[in-house]
Structure 1
Amino acid sequence: LTAYWENRQNIKFKSLIPSYQKLAQKQGFICPVCGESLFNDEPIQKHHKIPFCDGGNESYANLELVHYYCHQQIHSHAQNHLSEIENELSPW
């Protein structure tokens, strides 16, 4: 059974574009948000650790692969944090 899952993960890995393969290897094939395998049948997205608007770039050091829903959680949390800051700054 272990061999089956390893083979399945290997097939999914080979289907990625080369830049995603490099990122997946760098991460040990693990989503940094949930800690699960990147290859659990969820769509995978590229996430910028430092957004472009904050000076981020497309370097491998600034990129990570995350599951689609994990990516949504990252940006939902960032938006909630921004709303909290705006509320603190607003006089009413």
Structure 2
Amino acid sequence: MRHVMMTADTEIILKSANMITSLTNHYHSTIKRERNLAKEQLCKCPVCDDSLYNGEEIHAHHIIPRKEGDKNTMRNLIILHSEYHNHFTYSQDKDYRHALFLGLKNR
């Protein structure tokens, strides 16, 4: 049996390949999660009630931001068009975000 000595370059290549594999697995699990969320929402944006797959970009949104204590769970996520995601994410007014969320819950 012949042993191959690993060089620094070989080690870097192997680490890079492992990182790419990890990123690919994360990407596929994210896509699967988004598909499952979309199915739960009947493939409709909860804000405009239009199809999530109408050509607009879509985003997963944390209903209660993780920095405010909630987790990255399916119960805390919705899929919506990026335009509306920006309204939720970049609004500094917690009351406004809460009102938007209540509007979604009451649909």
| Partner residue in 2 for 1:48 | 62
Runs of 4+ in structure 1 over 4 Å off: none
Query: 1:4-19 to 2 correspondence within 5 Å?
Result: 17-19=31-33
| Cα drift, residue 36 of structure 1 | 1.1
**Cα offsets for 1:19-41 (capped at 9, x unmatched):** 11100001111111221110110
| Cα drift, residue 75 of structure 1 | 2.5
The one-letter amino acid of 1:18's match is: K
Give the CA RMSD over aligned residues.
2.0
| Partner residue in 1 for 2:80 | 66
| Partner residue in 2 for 1:21 | 35
CA distance in 2: counterparts of 1:58 and 1:32, whole angstroms = 19
CA distance in 1: counterparts of 2:88 and 2:56, whole angstroms = 16
Extract unaligned runs of 5+ from structure 2: 1-29, 95-107
TM-score (ref. length: structure 2): 0.55
| Cα drift, residue 73 of structure 1 | 1.6
Identity %: 35
**Cα offsets for 1:18-74 (capped at 9, x unmatched):** 111100001111111221110110111110001011111111000011111111122
- Work out the number of aligned pairs and report it: 66
Extract unaligned runs of 5+ from structure 1: 1-15, 83-92
